[in-house]
Structure 1
């Protein structure tokens, strides 16, 4: 039987080949980024105070001279992907030498900075976590198991509870992401200004709650998360930590905050969580609401790069039995959970802020 490819123009076939090869080699993107963070290169350049030459970088890294060319290859690729800028450095021998400076992306990988996403890289590229995605074929045939159930032998959250080291990596990663979200929350005064109390469900170690408390000193804030997460954390006059199960009970407050929570779960579970939120919020029409910070899929309005990222995250959430949702899918959840109205506002380039009212 003749192959259907015979009807294609050679130019089409070669373009298709390039697309396949491109995706074959994209595994190098996360591996190079992981290498960069593991070698602490953003901090090295930051501490250097100016663009650092290849020879100086190799010296500080203390790698064999025979690997200097490989360091250069990795740095050039990372620069091509936007993590560094390549500049020309004129050394004392009056020879031109390649040097590297930070970009905004690599500034976000400098450990010790207020805004630092290095913990996200360290968690997601941990071999135990990233290696689970080698089991996609097996997972797709399992009726009920999550990807992590297939790869790790237990539910993701159960796995974290049983593995303190991975649990810490996860909490550190979520805290680093929360600091990015807090940058946007500083412009959300209207969302919180009439509230007297708020519960941050799945609030982790309290990174977001602390910012809310600092911005609104009269606001009482409760961080509600798994007992293993909050058991050794201490609050203050307007910040408290409570351990529990959001499917069973959520502490009462004027508002409930769900940041990066609902996309982890099925529609059925989301409705259960939202029903508990509805029970928790005050009946005061002016105050009572649930505040959701999450993705809203919108292919028609989003740039292609953002759409691709959202689709990638949708696959990631599917592996937890969750999903990313468009506005109609969000609305369906709100209606089925008994809420009367909602409002969606832009939040960051990636996220939206959704207020829903009982």
Structure 2
């Protein structure tokens, strides 16, 4: 808001400083309101840009490239390039205003240009480089970021968020259940597209979060046998057994998951239900499993693990943990964001503090807990010893 001081009835104000203070305050309030109100719009603009491969198109043009909307549209099949460029322009401006893209103004080639004597061009920033996979490279971090955004902006995720208020007023089921009347995991069984998005996100997320564990945690090298409970198609276990060939790998998951699992060297696939019983094993791995369930289900699973272990056996848990002293930093917010989606999708699933993990272990009979913090992602390796 801009105020022309000469036109103000100064009799209504004690002094001009009061007017200036009002201008600053109202400007700040306005911009804060606009920013908060535009959060959802920015996220959907980001999704559209990912689906149109805007970031990869810019990346393919060179490390410091800036392209106009028309230049980007020339790489995208569309029925009306001129109108499409103008629509895309407005999407790109929003992303630029949120520092997701950088904006440079330049004079267009040829005539004055359709929209005046200049045009805007758009380049990648630190944020959007995480969204760009160029034609010559593959980037797991880019895959993680894009898969996370695409999954969390799917229609089912958005519909579930409409039900958060109802879940607060009438607890007992997750917002997703309130929206669709079915458990999230059961729902995905009937929706291949959503299941694929979820699986893509979980696979690349698991790989990235496990990198530090694999490099820094020394607890795998002395094992003879390792069972990955809820191990999906066995990707993590295959990496462990390929590095430590002396380790016998058992991959345990639900029958329909095991049916889709490929044959892997040194890995035996075993089908079953972890809440009913778990086959005997020297050591059990639970990677990003406990956060899907409430405390009672976690205790049931851990009790089944305890019963499946020999006297000197242990459970190796890999999970993000919430700090007991919450801080406003990237890693803390990352855990809280994931905890939010646990609340959204599951009945009782949540991220735990380290103290809560210890309580779960002790509640089912584990006598010793060792904790190994990793440097990134707020990931911890937690050993429960029988």
Is residue 172 of structure 1 aligned with residue 200 of structure 2? yes
Change (3 A) 1:201 1:12: farther
Q: How does 1:35-114 map to 2 (within 5 A)?
A: 35-50=48-63, 51-54=65-68, 55-63=70-78, 64-79=81-96, 81=98, 83-86=100-103, 98-101=121-124, 103=126, 106-107=129-130, 109-110=132-133, 113-114=138-139
Contact 2:101–2:122 (CA under 8 A) maintained in structure 1: no
How do 1:322-333 and structure 2 match up within 5 A?
322-333=349-360
Q: 2:154 aligns with which of 111, 126, 140?
A: 126
Which residue in the other structure is 2:361 paired with? 334
Residues 136 and 97 (structure 1), Cα distance of their counterparts in 2 relative to 1, 3 Å cut: closer
- 8 Å Cα contact 1:42-1:106 kept in structure 2: yes
Distance 1:78 1:191 in 2: 44
Whether the 8 Å contact between 1:298 and 1:326 is mirrored in structure 2 is: yes
- Counterpart Cα distance in 2 of 1:291 and 1:341: 12
1:316 to 329, 332, 341: 341
Contact 2:100 2:124 in 1 (8 A): no
Equivalent-residue separation in structure 2 for 1:279 and 1:48 (angstroms) = 58
In the superposition, relative to structure 1, how do residues 45 and 217 fare at CA in structure 2: closer, same or farther (>3 Å)? farther
How far the C-alpha of 1:189 sits from its partner, in A, is 4.5
Following the alignment from structure 1 to structure 2, what is the Cα–Cα distance between the partners of residues 19 and 253? 55
Q: Which runs of 5+ in 2 are unaligned?
A: 1-20, 111-117
Partner of 1:6: none
Q: Which one of the candidate residues 185, 189, 213 is aligned to 1:185?
A: 213
Q: Offset of 1:227 from its aligned partner?
A: 1.9
1:213 aligns with 2:216: no
Q: Secondary structure at the match of 2:164?
A: helix
Judging changes above 3 Å, is the alpha-carbon distance between structure 1 residues 266 and 56 closer, same or farther for their aligned structure 2 residues?
A: same
Deviation at 1:333, TM superposition (A): 1.0
What is the number of equivalent residue pairs in this alignment?
A: 346
Once residues 105 and 14 of structure 1 are traced to their aligned partners in structure 2, the CA distance between those partners, rounded to angstroms, is: 29
The structural deviation recorded for 1:15 is 5.8
Report the secondary structure of 2:219's partner residue: helix
Q: Which of 224, 228, 250 pairs up with 1:200?
A: 228
In structure 1, the gaps of 5 or more residues are 1-8
Deviation at 1:269, TM superposition (A): 1.0
Match of residue 323 from structure 2? 298
Offset of 1:191 from its aligned partner?
2.2
- Cα RMSD (Å): 3.1
Counterpart CA distance in 1 for 2:234 and 2:102 is: 35
CA positional deviation for 1:52: 4.4
Which one has the largest radius of gyration? Answer: 2
Residues 293 and 16 (structure 1), Cα distance of their counterparts in 2 relative to 1, 3 Å cut: farther
Shift of 1:339: 1.1
Match of 1:258 in 2: 286
Shift of 1:193: 1.0
Relative to the length of structure 2, the TM-score reads 0.78
Give a deviation string over 1:171-200, Cα, whole Å, max 9, x none.
Answer: 222112122123223313512111122122
